[in-house]
């Protein structure tokens, strides 16, 4: 696989981190020529559709490259994702939500469909021993296609003058839910299972299958967890509870399956990689447990009224679990080697992530129970974002120097 593809992903991750730094610096430089909302939209879209989407797809390509017959199509898909994502980012920076950025976002959806077709045509030809990994990947592809209902709904809602209604936000949450809880989580777990199988680590497939179906079936009712703030009635709350419990139970089954082969994992990979696997899985469990807490009405309303908690959760999911799981699998497949630069870069990145989460969640707790505010809160958030950027740059350097040490 062309090495430039990995540079594409690090470039997107760096742009995401850099735009995050700009947002954290905005209170100190309010006269910036680019509006805050433009940076925010560019940052959030590139995080999911640029870095995370391409990062996960590159892992798939790296694993399957020797057996891919249609390599020119693989190159074309990767380049299309890169170009469209970059143009989308630039459009949001320049004009925010407007004609060009909407066109680029729509074009990205059709590139996603192309990616789905490419991946599906490859995995349907694979042998039976990869059946469990392919089950997760197929669930991910279904979720990715299903998520596109959200943007289509946004277009309809906007065209009918309902942009200020709760339906607009519900469509956004629908898209986000099936992107990170569906597509990215299931796809990365499918790839993770495949990588363990490739290292002769055999799971109890029955436990994995139970975990998959519990999680996948619960995805649709689980969406209602994201829109409890809309007060859709008792039925929607009951459905949300079912979805939350189902997703949590599915995650527990999957983690129990991993626990049964943990000793083999420990002897098959470097200490750094094993530590990163542990962190990623712990973050997944923490994320699912936080979602389980939303089944309590008083707590859920409090959470949805506190902006720092919502931002903290989104960062916990995308910057924490998703991004760290991608970087972990980069180590598992040899993109990142267990050398000093990789270790130092990950430590700096992880410290920035932890600092960011502690600040955001403590701020919410301080509001809820009248605790003292964090001293230099805004400055510390800027410091956390700088640590994330520095850690990422060191990891990128590690990739370029992986054959030196």
What is residue 129's predicted lDDT score, i.e. its pLDDT?
52
Q: pLDDT per residue over 94-126, tens digit each?
A: 988 888 988 999 999 999 999 999 999 988 876
Residue 148 neighbours by CB under 8 Å, 6+ apart: 109, 112, 113, 175
Least confident of 71-75, 110-114, 227-231, 295-299: 295-299
b/e sequence 330-341, b meaning 16+ C-beta within 10 Å: bbbeebbbbbeb
Task: Please give the residue that has the higher pLDDT: either 198 or 10.
Answer: 10
Mean pLDDT computed over 298-319: 82
d(CA 377, CA 239): 38
Q: Does the pLDDT at position 307 exceed 90?
A: no
298 pLDDT tier (thresholds 50, 70, 90):
low
d(CA 112, CA 76): 13
Q: pLDDT per residue over 115-162, tens digit each?
A: 999 999 988 876 555 788 899 999 999 999 999 998 888 888 877 777
Measure Cα distances from 35 to 18, 22, 201 in Å.
15, 11, 50
d(CA 188, CA 273): 16
Render 293-332 in DSSP notation, one character per residue: GGGSHHHHHHHHT-HHHHHHHHHIIIIIIIHHHHHHHHHH
Q: Where are the beta strands (DSSP E) in 170-318?
A: none
User: Phi and psi at residue 296, in whole multiples of 5°?
Assistant: -90, 110
The pLDDT mean for the chain works out to 90
- Could you tell me which of 365, 389, 343 has the C-alpha nearest to residue 18? 389
What is residue 404's predicted lDDT score, i.e. its pLDDT?
41
- Could you tell me which of 344, 271, 283, 364 has the C-alpha nearest to residue 316? 283
What is residue 391's predicted lDDT score, i.e. its pLDDT?
96
Is residue 178 within 8 A of residue 150, CB to CB? The reply is: yes
Q: Does the pLDDT at position 339 exceed 50?
A: yes
Residue carrying the six token digits 């419990």:
245
Q: Give the end-to-end CA distance of the chain in Å, rounded to a whole number.
A: 22
Residue 140 neighbours by CB under 8 Å, 6+ apart: 182, 183, 184, 185, 186, 187, 190
Is residue 16 within 8 A of residue 45, CB to CB? The reply is: no
Q: Does the pLDDT at position 89 exceed 90?
A: yes
Measure Cα distances from 299 to 2, 87, 113, 134, 271 in Å.
48, 40, 38, 37, 39
What is residue 340's predicted lDDT score, i.e. its pLDDT?
86
Q: Does the pLDDT at position 247 exceed 70?
A: yes
Mean pLDDT computed over 259-266: 92
pTM: 0.94
What is residue 184's predicted lDDT score, i.e. its pLDDT?
96
d(CA 191, CA 166): 36
269: DSSP letter: S
What is residue 403's predicted lDDT score, i.e. its pLDDT?
46
d(CA 380, CA 351): 12
What number of other Cβ atoms are within 10 A of residue 375's Cβ? Answer: 7
Q: Does the pLDDT at position 24 exceed 70?
A: yes
Q: pLDDT per residue over 201-242, tens digit each?
A: 888 788 999 999 999 999 999 998 888 777 777 788 889 889
d(CA 382, CA 257): 39
Residue 10 neighbours by CB under 8 Å, 6+ apart: 392, 395, 396, 399
């Amino acid at each position: 696989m062309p090495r430039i593809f990995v540079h594409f992903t690090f470039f997107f991750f760096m742009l995401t981190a850099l735009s995050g730094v700009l947002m954290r610096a905005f209170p100190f430089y309010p006269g910036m020529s680019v509006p805050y909302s433009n940076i925010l939209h560019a940052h959030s879209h590139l995080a999911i559709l640029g870095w995370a989407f391409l990062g996960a797809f590159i892992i798939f390509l790296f694993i399957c490259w020797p057996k891919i017959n249609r390599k020119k199509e693989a190159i074309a898909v990767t380049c299309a994702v890169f170009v469209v994502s970059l143009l989308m980012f630039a459009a949001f920076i320049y004009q925010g939500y407007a004609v060009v950025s909407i066109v680029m976002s729509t074009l990205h959806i059709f590139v996603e469909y192309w990616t789905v077709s490419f991946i599906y045509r490859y995995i349907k030809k694979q042998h039976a021993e990869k059946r469990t990994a392919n089950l997760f990947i197929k669930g991910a592809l279904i979720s990715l296609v299903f998520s596109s209902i959200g943007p289509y709904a946004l277009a309809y809602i906007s065209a009918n003058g309902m942009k200020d209604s709760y339906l607009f936000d519900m469509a956004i949450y629908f898209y986000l839910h099936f992107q990170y809880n569906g597509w990215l989580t299931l796809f990365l777990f499918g790839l993770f299972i495949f990588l363990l199988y490739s290292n002769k680590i055999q799971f109890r497939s029955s436990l994995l299958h139970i975990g998959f179906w519990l999680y996948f079936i619960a995805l649709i009712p689980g969406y209602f967890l994201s829109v409890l703030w809309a007060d859709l009635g008792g039925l929607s709350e009951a459905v949300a509870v079912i979805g939350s419990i189902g997703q949590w139970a599915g995650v527990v089954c999957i983690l129990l399956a991993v626990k049964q082969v943990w000793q083999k994992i420990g002897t098959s990979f470097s200490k750094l990689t094993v530590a990163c696997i542990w962190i990623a899985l712990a973050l997944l469990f923490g994320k699912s447990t936080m979602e389980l807490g939303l089944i309590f009405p008083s707590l859920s309303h409090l959470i949805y009224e506190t902006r720092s908690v919502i931002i903290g959760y989104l960062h916990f999911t995308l910057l924490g679990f998703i991004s760290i799981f991608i970087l972990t699998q980069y180590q598992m497949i040899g993109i990142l080697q267990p050398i000093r630069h990789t270790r130092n870069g990950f430590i700096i990145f992880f410290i920035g992530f932890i600092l960011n989460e502690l600040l955001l969640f403590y701020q919410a707790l301080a509001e809820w129970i009248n605790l003292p505010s964090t001293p230099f809160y805004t400055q510390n958030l800027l410091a956390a974002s700088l640590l994330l950027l520095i850690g990422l740059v060191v990891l990128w350097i590690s990739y370029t120097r992986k054959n030196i040490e």
